[in-house]
Structure 1
């Protein structure tokens, strides 16, 4: 585990987002870092595609509500 230095402004945005997303500040930061890394590695995928793929890899069986 290491320490990542970020600006006070970014820290404040992470804090606000973590409250809205019901995550700790560290979990929110880790989530954004992971999604950003996946987006850079897969530039043709949308955010939704990335999330769907992560859920598929975790074997989450979620029903697509748009099919109803």
Structure 2
């Protein structure tokens, strides 16, 4: 079975799981870009931010901070 490529939201989940606390969006999207080997230009960071906004596992806490909802994590077996 071929493993699918990690999405921006998958990388966000990994970062948030490791940190175990809400992360400010700027730090989060820059870390995702770094892990994905992408540039940190405005267009790329905006695209990453848009993609994490669309994933229902990730929750905007307010004041620019994101965390994950442990109840919505899909586990692959």
TM-score (norm 2): 0.30
- The structure that is helix-richer by fraction is 1
Greater RCO, CA 8 A, separation 6+: 2
Pair member with larger Rg: 1
- The structure that is strand-richer by fraction is 2
TM-score (norm 1): 0.32
